[in-house]
Structure 1
Amino acid sequence: MISVQDWAKWMNKGSASIPHLLLENYKKLHLSDTEMMLLIHIHSFVSEGISFPSIKQLEERMTCSQVELTRMLNRLRKERFLEIRSNLDENNRVVEHYSLEPLWEKLFRYLTINVEEVAAAKDRDVWPAEHHPDSSKDAEGRVFKRFEQEFGRPLSPMECETIATWLDEDQLDPQIILLALKEAVIANKRSLRYIDKILLEWQKNGLTTVDQVLNHIKGFRRHQASKSGQRGYNEAVDFPFYNWLER
């Protein structure tokens, strides 16, 4: 029989946070369900400190054979969803590890080129881009709920206080706060410090309405896409994240 102590130990292993935007869009990136599951397992292993899981370790978690896993890994590397990188450890030995950075870049490029589709997600109540007809209390409650969903955990008292300050003292539109959260998720930087920097940047630029913020985001991304000469999300070109902390 499983003891309470064993159960608590298992629960303390933590969890792997998967962005909602990835789950909503991986099909559009031409990833199969099995390939997505493989990437999730690799992400999970890396978050556990196993940066280069073996084929056997992956096979133990999935229903695929080693041959199938090898083929999928080769395709994911060939199609630039996954990379194997190397570095020197403390003993000056070369060690390899998986990197999902190419996956995040592909997702970012897709969302950038299809920013109108992301904004339209308001119809699914994912990223509201305009005011809802409900009460301000309901809108504020949705902000806290959305933050917990994207952070993958309950908010701390300090985090709740920060969000409450944005809403009550700064009088920020809840939809603008959600748009700032979306920018942080796209950049894979889930921190209130990063989101606060985004909000301050928008305030500094005099952006006080949802439409102004959306136009600002679209204008910047179109400028970057034009600057990079990019015509499609799957082209092998550099497309930098809009890092608000470096502005």
Structure 2
Amino acid sequence: MPRFVDLRRLAVSFVLLGSFLGALASEVSAAERVETTPGLAPDAVRRVFEGQRQALAGCLRLVAESKQAGSPARSVPWNASADADDRLLLRFTVDANGKVAKLNSYQSTMDVRGAFIEPSCARALAEQWTFPPPVGEQSVEVSVWARFRSTEAERKAALARIHESFATLCQAVASAIPGDARPTKEVWDAALARILSEHGPRLDTRVRRTLDAVMGVSVANASNILLESMDSLATDVACPKVRAWSRF
């Protein structure tokens, strides 16, 4: 059985990887500066970034961890300071095939820095970019500078959509599975499939992605993943049935 910490990481990754698909007014600027080592022209990188940059705009930083002595860390809505820097920096290596190079089987060379962007979400997107193969079949170091800033209203709206979607999900679970006993895996999977069919298009992409991910997972682990997803985005949805099933 996966450890609790692994379930938390899994839940958070589902949420963050889905976050870029939300429809938002924010915009990542065109590259202000591009630097490359020999083998790949900055203009070639600039063209790829221009075609992909707006997808990054959905990677809003929405939450931060709040830590108090004697209490576990919890997620709270993130608020930017008045002088928060809107600069965005992406640094990575392009391999001989024009792909973002990997450090190992789990981690790419993509490094994303910016006050207003969620790095994990942006990395998941940017790791998929494809560039012209470098001249001489060598790896190339790349740095791209741009600008990105979200407003407090946009962040609040995104969190509100997530909260509403989790509330819809919990109500649908309660309706689809009568009684308080933990359902069998077959009943659970059938209920999730029905919920996705009936409510999927109206759910926030983050919530829908999490539901897709827990299909086929044991009820206890799926319940924990759903709850960790809710908690990681500072939602206060009660969801009593799912919480009860996670404690068995």
Which TM-score bucket, shorter chain as reference? under 0.3
Structure 1 or 2: larger helix share? 1
Identify, as 1 or 2, the structure richer in strand: 2
TM-score, normalising length from structure 2?
Answer: 0.25
TM-score w.r.t. the length of structure 1 is: 0.25
